[in-house]
Structure 1
Amino acid sequence: MKLWLLLLLVLALPARAELWGYVDAAGMAHFAHRQLDGRYQPVLGSVSMQRVPGKTDAGLALLNWLEIAPEVKAVQPWVREAAEKHGVDAELLKAIIAVESGYQRNAVSPRGATGLMQITPETASRYATPADAARLIEPRINIHTGARMLADLLRRFRSIDVALAAWNAGEGTVRRAGNRVPDIDETQAHVHLVLELYWALLQQSQPARAQRLTLHP
């Protein structure tokens, strides 16, 4: 990860964004942009950690889950492969998967979004071959399709937060908002969640660089 990209990430982070989460008894991680109930604790690395003392252990446990959970470890070779092939950051892919599906490879949304990265049929028709689109539930195909889409959005919008907004709300919605994150609660929450988790993962994986940066409220 180059220092300039880390700086862009800091500039993109919402001033008061937070990432909360917990790991349930079944070993599934849950994330939210606010404390939905008493089970949710601040994730290590988020801005909220500076304001809520005594919560480090819970946040660290959640990030540790992303390092040691079998369902996460099983797909990491494909995450790294897709990141290298399509020129996106592995930590960003990892954050998107966590927020989109919680690493449940068979996840299907009510809108028909499929797999780890919750790829819609429309996205598959654009970024996957017909053969791959028919097997989109397979983790490697799903991750590569998502990484290809993410790389395209980053090139188009030249900003991580706006690219993530287009991922969630669609390119047309973002363009109508002036190529900015639209004023849609669901989209803003999605962007905040992914960016905060991405930042936390960068702090964990690249502390020598990440610790030189400061988040200002």
Structure 2
Amino acid sequence: MRYAAVLLTAQFLISAQDPQSEEFKKFQQEQSRGVVQQEEAFRQYSAEVTAQFERYAEEQERLFREYTGRIDQRWGTKNRRTSTREEYVSYAKDFSSRRSIDFEKGKASVEVLVTEKEAKDPALIRSRLKEQVAQLAVSRGGTDPLEVKNNIPPEAKPVVSGQLVTAAGAPVTEQNASRFAEETIAKAEVTQQVVTGKDGVKRVVLGVQMPLVPDHVRRRAEEFRRTVSQQSERFGIDAALLYAIMHTESYFNPKARSPVPAFGLMQLVPKSGARDAFFFAHRKDSLVTGEYLYIPANNIELGAAYVTKLMTVDFRGVKEPKSRILCVIAAYNTGPGNVAKAFTGKRNVTQALPRINALTPEQLLGHLRQNLPYEETRSYVVKVSERIGLYNEWRN
């Protein structure tokens, strides 16, 4: 048997050297059929994943409409506030109160809805606001009605961990949150605003604000150093660039959500950037949800993967490293096609490469600031470029 197998192998090897042999032709046909079948299977699977993304997007739109509708019923459309890239807004289950953290401006606030009669009761006002301030100080998120619908997990630590301090300068914790709330209510100016919900009922919004610590952005960034370092080493990209993108995208707000919607620290859109990044990192196509992207480790991994893809695939033909980084920064915000469009009027990156390579980094930055299709991206390139220097000492 072993001798026969050797003869068959030898016969095949001899035949393989003769492209005209029947055995070789048959082998080629079988190989071709296998490749075609694999390609067809991948196309079908990819189409299924695309359909999943479309269904997910439709469901997200439906849930958001339902969510904002319930807000409007009690707060009124003009007084609606929802989470953004820079601000996390969380409502109570019955929409009778809301807590918000502005990660860009460095302030937090709580607001409660009361009747006009209740608004005249100082003791009730203090009690309601104190309760909300204490909850804001220790909340790990995940309780907002939209988060609950989307199965968004709570953070490992309170969302404002290390970013609020007592009058004595001590960090606010679960142990001293009640005292911090008392101090805040005692010294804060309580605002009042009459609103009319879509249900036709007049209510009074009572609110107080409190500042985050001056270096709140840096403190939040510290929380993600280990993960950024790991992904920077894994993909071989500059950690300072990742921090600068994260800073600009969300101010290190792990609960960031844009209207698109894009989710999390590095503001990834499930059906485009997140999908591309997941395929690049894991070599398989998959539905990437907001639930997945709100986990910081997942978000940073895919954000780093997307930056690497832009660097090593889309703009690998840009010869000057500084110029390549500028193109990657712009593309992270607006996509490679729009960057190419700034040079040729067309979305083909390959056709844009000669013009990009003809410019110095300084000339390229000026060209991008003048010719990128959207003002947001023009500003974005400058902001990210400038913020890279803020994180030089955190490079691997």
Fold conserved between structures, TM > 0.5: yes
Alignment of 1:26-105 (within 5 A): 26=108, 65-67=216-218, 69=219, 71-105=220-254
Count, aligned residues: 150
Deviation of the 1:200 alpha carbon: 3.2
Instruction: Work out whether residues 132 and 141 of structure 1, in 8 Å CA contact, stay in contact via their aligned partners in 2.
Output: no
CA-to-aligned-CA distance 1:28-73 (integer Å, 9 cap, x gap): 8xxxxxxxxxxxxxxxxxxxxxxxxxxxxxxxx97x5454x1x322
CA-to-aligned-CA distance 1:99-150 (integer Å, 9 cap, x gap): 1011111111001110000001211221116667231211111101010110
Q: SS where residue 116 of structure 1 aligns? A: coil
Percent of residue pairs identical:
29
Q: Check 1:205–1:85 CA distance in 2 against 1; reply closer, same or farther (3 A cut).
A: closer
Q: Check 1:104–1:195 CA distance in 2 against 1; reply closer, same or farther (3 A cut).
A: same
What letter matches 1:118 in structure 2? Q
Q: Which has the higher contact order (CA 8 A, sep 6+)?
A: 1
- Which protein has the larger Cα radius of gyration, Structure 1 or Structure 2? 2
Aligned to 1:161: 326
Q: SS where residue 177 of structure 1 aligns? A: helix
Give the Cα separation in 1 of the matches to 2:251 and 2:386: 15
TM-score (norm 2): 0.35
Aligned to 1:120: 269
Deviation of the 1:25 alpha carbon: 3.8
CA-to-aligned-CA distance 1:60-96 (integer Å, 9 cap, x gap): x97x5454x1x32222111111111111111111111
> Any unmatched runs of 5+ in structure 1?
1-21, 29-60, 207-217
Give the Cα separation in 2 of the matches to 1:132 and 1:103: 24
The alignment yields a C-alpha RMSD, in angstroms, of: 2.6
Q: Is 2:343 aligned against 1:187?
A: no
Give the Cα separation in 2 of the matches to 1:170 and 1:186: 13
Deviation of the 1:154 alpha carbon: 1.5
> Any unmatched runs of 5+ in structure 2?
1-103, 109-159, 164-212, 279-283, 319-323, 344-351, 357-367
Instruction: Work out whether residues 153 and 163 of structure 1, in 8 Å CA contact, stay in contact via their aligned partners in 2.
Output: yes
Q: SS where residue 153 of structure 1 aligns? A: helix
What letter matches 2:307 in structure 1? L
Aligned to 2:288: 133
What letter matches 1:168 in structure 2? N
